[in-house]
Chain A
Amino acid sequence: MAAAVDVRGLRKSYGDHDAVRGITFRIEEGEVFCLLGPNGAGKTTTVEILEGYRARDAGDVTVLGLDPGRRERTLRERMGVVLQHSETWPQVTVAETLRIYAGYYRNPRDVDEVIELVGLVEKRDARIKTLSGGQKRRLDLGLALVGNPDLVFLDEPTTGFDPQARRNAWEMIRGLRALGKTILLTTHYLDEAQQLADRVAVLRDGEIVTEGTPGELVASSRTEIRYRENGEVKIVATDEPTRVLHELTSRAVAQGRELEELEVRRRSLEDVYLELLREDVT
């Protein structure tokens, strides 16, 4: 399978701040790839280099087989972009805005189809200034899709959404995946990565600290056994939960006492993520 995005040793500094310090990843066609990390980790810098907004300092980058730094029109025909902050003319309607953008592409999608896809049918002829924040964000997505792109960049598409709006956005992004689009998503929400991504790369201080499917990230972690002994909470992290649990319970049974508040759980992706972010940079 061809790579939709191929990044090797990408670096970018702003003055003496190293925003991206040599990252490497690959996104296959039709895949939903997530760059997950806290604010300032280098997510937007990375995405904006791939979108052609920023020049890189070092590294090899191809997007749909082309170098985004050359800003070729053929590449822009095939990609859709949802920026972190971007508005449209407040006084123009949803359908008019989409029609204007559709005119920039050789093979645009039907405007009404896009409106339906992003769930703005009822707001079709409403002016942008009357839309809610979530609806504007859906229009952003519509504008990214109206050119019928193969690759879609979504930079923090749900930041600031209420929970219901986020669920709706997730449904829409799953819909894109079903259409066969390759998607690069950035987020600082862990559950978003878990819900949507085929693969996740965790970014911290401009470096990828781990990469894999959401399942793999959790699988690499250990099981946690908690209980209370003499009023004190004990936590045992282990790769062999069966054996450790057996030893603990056998001992407790032999001593005729209860392991209070016994709890066995696989650590969630959240635990893994927070641990990754907590590690000191060396």
Chain B
Amino acid sequence: MFVHQVRADQLVFWRGRESAIFVFLFPVLLFLLLSTVYSGEYRGRPLTDYLVPSLVTYGVANTTFGGLAIILVVRRELGILKRIRATPLPAPMYLAATLCSILLVFALQAAAIMALGRVLYDWHLPSEWPSLFAAFLLGALCFAGMGFGAASLIRSAEGASAVVNVITLPMAFLSGGFGPTRDFPEFLQAIADVLPLTYLVDIVQGVVYDGKPISEQPLAVVVLLAWGVAGTLIAMRFFAWEPRER
């Protein structure tokens, strides 16, 4: 039944043109755009070394946080979640399948960005690639926790997309998801210091530039986990199955 539900979610996701374009394709397109307009080097290496994994972290925020939140809010407001509650499908299984499905979308998106990096810019996986993948997975899970939390707080389907973008786009910009931030003014860097994506970007950069495995970056891991747990707790307290709007 779990597999059935994941497949159903995948069908619904890819069939919905808006969700497929916005959630899946947007980070891929941004990668192509940024890698085309920015060239040069960062810390003695081609900028694509920075951009490929960073755009994947933006994908984490865009897909497992934003995409998940929008999907849940839209389904709640349409009454799909309410109807599901009347079927024998257990609620935890439904939520787990939704999570699994969005992780699949993210995995494909990450693969697409890395493959494009490889084909267009001869980008290669760093030697510490298991740490890189572990960071992506950790980030995806933590941001999904925040996605569940955000879905619980967003009131309307119309507003969901706007709210999510107002959060993720500036966050990605400030956190270094779209390019290095070391030349940013200090107050912007200070804002970035409280954003969860900053810590994911930090882990990824540590892996790529310093060859530091994720196990040697415990502070960033803890901050990310804290955000993920906070989101999950909000969801446990406020998640609703029934439409909020009348």
Contact = CB atoms under 8 A, between A and B. Distances in A.
A, B: real partners? yes
Given A86-B78, A91-B12, A103-B1, A52 B243 contact: no
Given A104-B88, A105-B88, A106-B88, A81 B12 contact: no
Contacts of B126: none
Contacts of A85: 79, 243
Q: Interface of chain A, helix or strand or loop or mixed?
A: loop
B83 A143 contact: yes
Interface residues of A, number: 26
B87 A147 contact: yes
A83 B88 contact: no
Contact of A104 (B1, B11, B78, B80): B1
B78 A87 contact: yes
Contact of B16 (A86, A91, A101, A104): A91
Contacts of B243: 85
B11 A52 contact: no
A139 to B, nearest CB: 11
Interface residues of B, number: 22
A180 to B, nearest CB: 21
A226 B86 CA distance: 51
A90 B242 CA distance: 18
A96 interface: yes
A159 interface: no
Interface in B36-63: none
B4 interface: yes
Nearest to A78: B88
Contacts of A81: 83, 86
Contacts of B87: 76, 101, 104-105, 147
Interface string A40-71: 00000000000111000000000000000000
B89 A91 contact: no
A86 B87 CA distance: 14
A89 B71 CA distance: 11
A86 B11 contact: no
B182 interface: no
Contact of B90 (A73, A83, A103, A105): A73
A77 B89 CA distance: 9
Interface string B71-92: 0000000111011011111100
A79 interface: yes
A100 interface: yes
Interface string A154-189: 000000000000000000000000000000000000
Interface in A94-151: 96, 100-101, 103-106, 143, 147
Given A85-B79, A86-B79, A51 B8 contact: no
A142 to B, nearest CB: 12
Contacts of A143: 83
Nearest to B81: A86
A89 B87 CA distance: 16
28 contacts: A53-B85, A53-B242, A73-B88, A76-B86, A76-B88, A79-B86, A86-B78, A86-B79, A86-B82, A86-B83, A87-B78, A87-B80, A88-B83, A89-B15, A89-B16, A89-B78, A89-B80, A90-B16, A91-B15, A91-B16, A91-B17, A100-B11, A103-B4, A104-B1, A104-B87, A105-B87, A106-B88, A147-B87
Interface of B: 1, 4-5, 8, 11-12, 15-17, 78-80, 82-83, 85-90, 242-243
Given A83-B83, A88-B80, A147-B88, 19 more contacts: A52-B86, A53-B82, A53-B85, A53-B242, A73-B90, A76-B86, A85-B79, A85-B243, A89-B12, A89-B16, A91-B12, A91-B17, A100-B4, A103-B1, A104-B1, A104-B87, A105-B87, A143-B83, A147-B87
The 7 A-B pairs at the shortest CB distance, nearest first, are namely A86-B79, A81-B86, A103-B4, A87-B78, A100-B8, A104-B87, A104-B89
